[in-house]
Structure 1
Amino acid sequence: MIQRVQSIFLFLVAVSMGLTLSLELWQQVGAEAGESFSLTALFLEKYNSAGEVIQSDSKWYIAALASFIGFLAIISIFQFRNRGRQMMLNMINSLFMVGLVATVFLTTNGINSELGLSDNGQYKIGFWAILVAMVFNMLANRFIRKDEALVRSVDRIR
């Protein structure tokens, strides 16, 4: 049924991915001549000291990964009749989340290495929402396994 605890956790995964898409992921302040960088799911923007955008690069693949993860979580909610498939979708979703974290991390490290800065910048709420989504996904898998064990124990009694 849709009103199970794991469905709530899967919905929270989708909400967390929505936060990742809408909020800032990373910010680097203190580059040369007062310039700063900001990474969102769609763009990497370079700002001058007055706060105006100097350069903007598309990072569409981060938004595509986050959207796919949220969409897969929504699909997984409606797979409640087949708990095995639901667990498989959540495992695949976990792999994509790890890939998303690695992509953001490698993107930010690439920027820092180009600039030659020792400071790694600040990871913002959008980045931490990915990690929160990973925790929600693990909790959903735990409750799905718990349901599966309960169904198997009831079948054994019959």
Structure 2
Amino acid sequence: MIQRIQSIYLLVAGIISGGLTFLFSLWNNSQESTAIYILDLFSRNSLIEKCVPVLFFGSTLVSFVSIFLFKNRQLQFVLGRLNILINLFLLGLLVYLSQTLSGEAAVSEKGIGMFFPVIVILLLVLANKAIKKDEDLVKSVDRLR
């Protein structure tokens, strides 16, 4: 059912991955003193920088698809793990990009958008824990019959 706690965790993870990335900057460019947002990375030359928004939107899509797979808890659990892997890869890319930003002789300011994958991973772990708890409950009821 949609009103379960894991659905709320997945919804919040999807909102953070897909919605809040438009509002908060990833980092501030120290050379031009401008904030870099998620859509600004599509106009960059590097393929790695273009992968970051795609991974954010992929994470959002997987979160929202998993909400409506409440009848198939095993698939929902697997999609949760896949989403955790997507966000771990995204976190690695963001750490790499933050270490190789141009103009690092001056101190650059990292935005809160860099921490979104960590928050999403936490929410997905909580969602998978609740899915596993539901699955164990259903299996225990089936054993009694």
Query: Is 1:70 the counterpart of 2:68 in the alignment?
Result: no
Who wins on radius of gyration, i.e. which is larger?
1
Residue of structure 2 in register with 1:92 after alignment? 82
Q: Report the structure, 1 or 2, having the larger strand content.
A: 1
Query: Is 1:123 the counterpart of 2:110 in the alignment?
Result: yes
Which structure 1 segments of 5+ residues have no match? 45-55
Residue of structure 2 in register with 1:20 after alignment? 21
**Secondary structure of residue in 2 paired with 1:27:** strand
Q: Is the 8 A contact 1:25 1:41 kept in 2?
A: yes
Which one of 16, 36, 40 corresponds to residue 39 of structure 1?
36
- How many residues were matched structurally? 140
How far the C-alpha of 1:150 sits from its partner, in A, is: 0.5
Which one of 95, 98, 101 corresponds to residue 91 of structure 2?
101
Q: Is the 8 A contact 2:10 2:124 kept in 1?
A: yes
**Secondary structure of residue in 2 paired with 1:115:** coil
Q: Is the 8 A contact 1:42 1:60 kept in 2?
A: no
Identity %: 33
How far the C-alpha of 1:104 sits from its partner, in A, is: 1.3
TM-score between both structures, scaled by the size of structure 2: 0.85
- Could you tell me how far apart the structure 2 residues matched to 1:22 and 1:84 are? 34
Q: Report the structure, 1 or 2, having the larger helix content.
A: 2
Partner amino acid for 2:128? N
Give the root-mean-square deviation of aligned CA atoms: 2.0
TM-score between both structures, scaled by the size of structure 1: 0.79
C-alpha spacing 1:67/1:156, structure 2 compared with 1 (3 Å)? same
**Secondary structure of residue in 2 paired with 1:106:** helix
Query: Is 1:136 the counterpart of 2:123 in the alignment?
Result: yes
Partner amino acid for 1:10? L
Partner amino acid for 2:4? R
Segments ≥4 residues shifted beyond 4 Å: none
How far the C-alpha of 1:80 sits from its partner, in A, is: 0.6
